[in-house]
Structure 1
Amino acid sequence: MEISVYCVGSEILKHEMDKIGPSAWNSSWYKSISPALHNPLRIVILKSNMTKVFTAGGLITISLQTLITMQIFRKYGYLGETHEIETEDGYLLDVHRIPPKTPDPNLPPVLLMHGLMGSSENFILLGPKRSLAYMLSDKGYDIWMPNSRGNFHSRKHRTLDPDHNNTYWMFSWHEIGKYDLPACIDYILESTGKPDLIYAGHSQGTTVFFVMASERPEYQSKIRLSMSLAPSVFLEHTKHPILRAVSKYYRYWDRLVLQTNQHEFIPFVSNDAIRYMFKFLCSKPGRLQDLCSNLMFMLIGFAPEQLDKKIIPLVTATVPAGSSARQALHYAQEIVTGKFRQYDFGKRENRRRYNTTIPPDYNLNISTPIGLFYAENDMLNDVRDVTKLSKVLPNVVKMYEVPYKQFTHFDFIVAKDVKTLVYMEVFDLMKKYNYNLDINTDDTGDNYNNVKK
Structure 2
Amino acid sequence: MPSKRLNTFHVLFISLAVVAVGYVIRTPWLPIRRETKTSMGYLEDSLMNFTELTGKYGYISEEHHVITDDGYILTMFRIAKAKNCHKRKRSPPVLLMHGLLQSSDSWIDSGPNAGLAYLISDACYDLWLGNVRGNYYSRGHVHLNPDKDAEYWNFYIEEIGTYDVPAMIDYVLDYTGFKKLNYIGFSQGTGTFLVMCSERPEYCEKAQLLISLAPASRQFHTSSQIYRMLTQMFDRMESALSIYGVHEVFSKGEFSQEFVGFFCHLSVATQRLCETFLNLFEQVDSSHSGSITNQTTTVLFGHFPAGTSLHNMAWYGQSMTATRFRKFNHGKKKNLVVYGSEQPAAYNLSAMTVPVLCIYGNNDGLVDVKDVEWLMSKLPNVLESVKVEDPLWTHLDMTYSQYTVYTIFPKISEYLLKYTSA
SS of residue in 2 equivalent to 1:384: helix
Structure 2 CA distance for aligned equivalents of residues 100 and 311 of structure 1: 24
| Distance apart, 1:303 and its partner CA | 1.8
Displaced runs of 4 or more, over 6 A? 8-11, 16-19
Greater length-normalized contact order (CA 8 Å, ≥ 6 residues apart)? 2
Q: Deviations over 1:340-377 (max 9, x none)?
A: 01111222322222222211110011210011111111
- Counterpart pick for 1:157 among 120, 138, 141: 141
Q: Which moved more, 1:344-353 or 1:356-365?
A: 344-353
- Counterpart pick for 1:339 among 324, 348, 371: 324
Structure 2 CA distance for aligned equivalents of residues 190 and 18 of structure 1: 44
| Distance apart, 1:188 and its partner CA | 0.3
- Counterpart pick for 2:380 among 394, 412, 436: 394
| Distance apart, 1:17 and its partner CA | 9.1
SS of residue in 2 equivalent to 1:199: strand
Given the superposition, is the C-alpha separation of residues 336 and 364 from structure 1 closer, same or farther in structure 2, using an over 3 Å criterion? same
Report the TM-score, using the length of structure 1 for normalisation: 0.79
Q: Do the aligned residues in 2 keep the contact of 1:17 with 1:68 (CA within 8 Å)?
A: no
Find the counterpart in structure 2 of residue 49 from structure 1.
none
Q: Deviations over 1:118-144 (max 9, x none)?
A: 000011111112111111111111111
- Counterpart pick for 1:83 among 31, 39, 64: 64
| Distance apart, 1:164 and its partner CA | 1.0
Question: In the alignment, is residue 295 of structure 1 matched against residue 277 of structure 2?
Answer: yes
Question: In the alignment, is residue 95 of structure 1 matched against residue 65 of structure 2?
Answer: no
Given the superposition, is the C-alpha separation of residues 346 and 86 from structure 1 closer, same or farther in structure 2, using an over 3 Å criterion? same
Question: In the alignment, is residue 242 of structure 1 matched against residue 263 of structure 2?
Answer: no
What is the Cα-based RMSD across aligned positions, in Å? 2.4
Find the counterpart in structure 1 of residue 369 from structure 2.
383
Structure 1 unpaired stretches of 5+: 1-7, 20-64, 437-453
Q: Do the aligned residues in 2 keep the contact of 1:103 with 1:141 (CA within 8 Å)?
A: no
- Counterpart pick for 2:122 among 122, 138, 146: 138
Q: Deviations over 1:377-426 (max 9, x none)?
A: 10111211111111111100111001111111000011121221111111
SS of residue in 2 equivalent to 1:304: coil
Kindly provide the amino acid, as one letter, of the partner of residue 349 in structure 2: L
Q: Which moved more, 1:118-127 or 1:343-352?
A: 343-352
Residue correspondence of structure 1 range 106-117 to structure 2 within 5 A: 106-117=90-101
Given the superposition, is the C-alpha separation of residues 247 and 321 from structure 1 closer, same or farther in structure 2, using an over 3 Å criterion? closer
Given the superposition, is the C-alpha separation of residues 250 and 358 from structure 1 closer, same or farther in structure 2, using an over 3 Å criterion? farther
Kindly provide the amino acid, as one letter, of the partner of residue 343 in structure 1: F
Q: Do the aligned residues in 1 keep the contact of 2:219 with 2:367 (CA within 8 Å)?
A: yes
Q: Percent identity?
A: 34
Structure 2 CA distance for aligned equivalents of residues 331 and 432 of structure 1: 34
Find the counterpart in structure 1 of residue 290 from structure 2.
305
Kindly provide the amino acid, as one letter, of the partner of residue 236 in structure 1: F
Given the superposition, is the C-alpha separation of residues 246 and 80 from structure 1 closer, same or farther in structure 2, using an over 3 Å criterion? closer
- Counterpart pick for 2:308 among 320, 323, 331: 323
Structure 1 CA distance for aligned equivalents of residues 38 and 129 of structure 2: 22
Structure 2 CA distance for aligned equivalents of residues 158 and 343 of structure 1: 26
Q: Which moved more, 1:179-188 or 1:415-424?
A: 415-424
- Counterpart pick for 2:152 among 160, 168, 191: 168
Structure 1 CA distance for aligned equivalents of residues 394 and 370 of structure 2: 16
| Distance apart, 1:432 and its partner CA | 0.6
SS of residue in 2 equivalent to 1:306: coil
Q: Deviations over 1:320-347 (max 9, x none)?
A: 1100111111111111122101111222
Question: In the alignment, is residue 121 of structure 1 matched against residue 110 of structure 2?
Answer: no
Given the superposition, is the C-alpha separation of residues 341 and 130 from structure 1 closer, same or farther in structure 2, using an over 3 Å criterion? same
Given the superposition, is the C-alpha separation of residues 290 and 305 from structure 1 closer, same or farther in structure 2, using an over 3 Å criterion? closer
Q: Deviations over 1:26-70 (max 9, x none)?
A: xxxxxxxxxxxxxxxxxxxxxxxxxxxxxxxxxxxxxxx997321
Given the superposition, is the C-alpha separation of residues 387 and 256 from structure 1 closer, same or farther in structure 2, using an over 3 Å criterion? same
Kindly provide the amino acid, as one letter, of the partner of residue 180 in structure 2: D
Kindly provide the amino acid, as one letter, of the partner of residue 336 in structure 1: T
Given the superposition, is the C-alpha separation of residues 14 and 87 from structure 1 closer, same or farther in structure 2, using an over 3 Å criterion? farther
Given the superposition, is the C-alpha separation of residues 286 and 191 from structure 1 closer, same or farther in structure 2, using an over 3 Å criterion? same
Structure 1 CA distance for aligned equivalents of residues 79 and 153 of structure 2: 29
Structure 2 unpaired stretches of 5+: 1-28, 41-45
SS of residue in 2 equivalent to 1:391: helix
Find the counterpart in structure 2 of residue 282 from structure 1.
264
Q: Deviations over 1:198-239 (max 9, x none)?
A: 111111111111111111100111111001111111311111
Find the counterpart in structure 2 of residue 407 from structure 1.
393
SS of residue in 2 equivalent to 1:399: strand
Given the superposition, is the C-alpha separation of residues 18 and 375 from structure 1 closer, same or farther in structure 2, using an over 3 Å criterion? same
Residue correspondence of structure 1 range 351-390 to structure 2 within 5 A: 351-365=336-350, 366-390=352-376
Q: Which moved more, 1:140-149 or 1:285-294?
A: 285-294
Given the superposition, is the C-alpha separation of residues 84 and 103 from structure 1 closer, same or farther in structure 2, using an over 3 Å criterion? farther
SS of residue in 1 equivalent to 2:295: helix
Kindly provide the amino acid, as one letter, of the partner of residue 424 in structure 1: P
Q: Do the aligned residues in 2 keep the contact of 1:104 with 1:141 (CA within 8 Å)?
A: no
SS of residue in 2 equivalent to 1:317: coil
Structure 1 CA distance for aligned equivalents of residues 52 and 231 of structure 2: 40
Kindly provide the amino acid, as one letter, of the partner of residue 379 in structure 1: G
| Distance apart, 1:306 and its partner CA | 1.0
Find the counterpart in structure 2 of residue 204 from structure 1.
188
Equivalent residues, number: 382
Find the counterpart in structure 1 of residue 207 from structure 2.
223
Q: Deviations over 1:297-327 (max 9, x none)?
A: 2223432231211112211111111001111
Q: Do the aligned residues in 2 keep the contact of 1:112 with 1:145 (CA within 8 Å)?
A: yes
Structure 1 CA distance for aligned equivalents of residues 32 and 366 of structure 2: 38
Structure 2 CA distance for aligned equivalents of residues 233 and 68 of structure 1: 30
Given the superposition, is the C-alpha separation of residues 129 and 289 from structure 1 closer, same or farther in structure 2, using an over 3 Å criterion? closer
Kindly provide the amino acid, as one letter, of the partner of residue 123 in structure 2: K
Structure with bigger gyration radius: 1
SS of residue in 1 equivalent to 2:194: helix
Kindly provide the amino acid, as one letter, of the partner of residue 398 in structure 1: E
Kindly provide the amino acid, as one letter, of the partner of residue 383 in structure 2: V
